[in-house]
């Protein structure tokens, strides 16, 4: 068996030479899942709490706690906004989930979401210099039903401890009511990353893909598979950014969204879907294969593949077709198959394929920008600004069909998004604090450098240990045997 390196940058080379492209894709998925389980157990999770103030002598305990800390309590009592300066609140995000729609695995029970929520906190700290706390909650009411009001009440009760809230993995239709209510009723920004974050980064990828295909967003025909929180928000942002709703068709498990969908109209919980029923798909098309014929763009966030999107659907699309298949953990069709079917540009949500359209590119900078100006909410304008910021950053360093958006390895993208979003918050009148773009940019840069330097120091000093090579090889052997 071939040896895999610790950087995991040789994944395509470690599998048997006899493996087909499909087998390699399946083996990579199996390897990453198994390695994730083994390394999470090795580390006991992936985040921790650490002091950021020093202990320079015994009496410093009396400064950080009683009696000195009494001055902090009374100061904040007299002016609650000072909590952003005198505590970590100004750089702290609560990652809230009821774990009812975790990736492609559905309802995983409240503690089942901890891996993802810790992952969000991990990425916020490393990529954006933002501290975050996972909060997986039980949203069941006395009848045992998942109750959106329970989530709303919880967030409103804990908002005084945080500078922002990141909602995550809440199933529809509850996710709509939770986000829309909390955006209006909380004094801090509430952001639904599955919806707004995914929409923001997808729009960024689409902007650059359309540039390469020499097409305009107002002219293209778009077929969208899946009508959950992600795709409905993507559609809304595309329309806000200039897309023609009459050329957009969304599909859920029962068919196309259109004005004759009485099942959606009659259920007030699905009001966001009904809005799209009224503005999109004027011909009331109900067959996805028909919707794909001549379409310029296919955006799928639906059931994990690899056979959810059919090659023949892609083959029927227009020249220089753009295909985003972003289901996790397995895309609706693998990129090699989509390319073989005729797609010009293919993107997925995974980093082991080209063009990772993943919300991880957006939320660290977006939330940091909101925090630095103490925004009261994240507006749609801020999300669209973030999308253009991502697209412009990638275009400035060069784009091609295999490289339409920045990657998480590009240090500068997060501080750029932070600065652009913060300035948009000021323009939108939702910022409590007004500072210049350069000040935001520098503060973001300092925070990111701090986080990454601290992580590297812990690794260099062996406080964060390397996982044993045998652990990697065991995961590789597992994946190979699973696929053979």
Q: Which of 26, 28, 38, 120 is catalytic?
A: 120
| Burial (CB count <10 Å: 0-12, 13-18, 19+), residue 359 | buried
- Bridge partners (DSSP) listed for residue 94: 133, 165
- What does the alpha-carbon distance between residue 480 and residue 484 come to, in Å, rounded to a whole number? 6
| 336 is annotated as an active-site residue | no
- Chain length of the chain: 484
For residue 221, CA distances in Å to 82, 236, 280, 281 come to 50, 15, 11, 10
Q: Which of 65, 450, 456, 484 is catalytic?
A: 65
| 65 is annotated as an active-site residue | yes
Peptide bond into 259 cis (omega under 30): no
Q: Is 409 left (phi over 0), alpha (psi -120 to 50) or beta?
A: alpha
Q: What's phi and psi for 405, nearest 5 deg?
A: -135, 160
Three-point CA angle 147, 153, 156, nearest 5°: 145
Neighbours of 93 (CB within 10 A): 28
- Sheet arrangement for strand 248-252: 255-256, 248-252, 222-225, 297-300, 322-325, 345-347
Q: What's phi and psi for 453, nearest 5 deg?
A: -65, -40
**Residues known to be catalytic:** 65, 120
């Amino acid at each position: 068996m071939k040896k895999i390196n610790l950087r995991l940058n040789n994944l395509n080379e470690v599998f048997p030479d006899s493996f087909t492209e499909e087998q390699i894709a399946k083996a990579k998925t199996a390897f990453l899942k198994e390695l994730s389980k083994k390394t999470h157990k090795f580390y006991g999770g992936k985040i921790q709490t650490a002091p950021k103030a020093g202990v320079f002598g015994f009496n410093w305990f009396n400064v950080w706690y009683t009696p000195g800390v009494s001055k902090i309590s009374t100061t904040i009592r007299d002016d609650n906004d000072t909590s952003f300066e005198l505590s970590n609140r100004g750089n702290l995000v609560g990652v809230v989930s009821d774990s009812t729609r975790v990736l492609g695995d559905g309802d995983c029970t409240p503690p089942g979401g901890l891996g993802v929520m810790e992952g969000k906190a991990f990425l916020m700290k490393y990529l954006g210099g933002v501290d975050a706390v996972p909060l997986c909650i039980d949203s069941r009411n006395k009848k045992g039903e998942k109750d959106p009001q329970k989530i709303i009440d919880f967030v409103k009760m804990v908002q005084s401890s945080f500078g922002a809230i990141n909602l995550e993995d809440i199933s529809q239709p509850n996710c709509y009511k939770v986000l829309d209510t909390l955006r209006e009723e909380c004094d801090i920004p509430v952001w639904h990353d599955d919806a707004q974050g995914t929409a923001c980064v997808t729009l960024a990828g689409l902007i650059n893909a359309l540039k390469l295909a020499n097409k305009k967003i107002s002219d293209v025909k778009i077929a969208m598979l899946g009508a959950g929180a992600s795709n409905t928000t993507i559609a809304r942002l595309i329309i806000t950014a200039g897309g023609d709703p009459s050329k957009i068709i969304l599909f859920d498990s029962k068919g196309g969204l259109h004005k004759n969908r009485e099942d959606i109209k009659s259920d007030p919980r699905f009001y966001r879907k009904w809005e799209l029923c009224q503005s999109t798909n004027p011909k009331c098309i109900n067959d996805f294969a028909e919707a794909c014929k001549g379409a310029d763009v296919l955006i799928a966030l639906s059931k994990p593949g690899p056979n959810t999107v059919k090659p023949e659907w892609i083959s029927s699309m227009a020249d220089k077709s753009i295909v985003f298949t972003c289901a996790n953990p397995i895309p609706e069709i693998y990129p090699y198959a989509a390319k073989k079917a005729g797609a010009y540009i293919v993107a997925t949500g995974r980093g082991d394929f080209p063009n990772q359209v993943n919300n991880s590119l957006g939320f660290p900078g977006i939330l940091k920008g909101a925090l630095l100006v103490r925004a009261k909410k994240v507006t749609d304008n801020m999300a669209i600004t973030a999308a253009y910021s991502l697209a412009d950053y990638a275009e400035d360093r060069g784009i091609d069909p295999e490289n339409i958006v920045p990657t998480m390895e590009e240090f500068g993208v997060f501080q750029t998004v932070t600065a652009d979003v913060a300035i948009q918050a000021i323009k939108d009148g939702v910022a409590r604090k007004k500072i210049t773009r350069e000040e935001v940019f520098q503060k973001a840069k300092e925070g990111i450098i701090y986080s990454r330097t601290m992580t590297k120091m812990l690794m260099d000093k062996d406080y964060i240990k390397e996982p044993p090579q045998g652990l990697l090889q065991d995961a590789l052997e597992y994946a190979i045997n699973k696929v053979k």
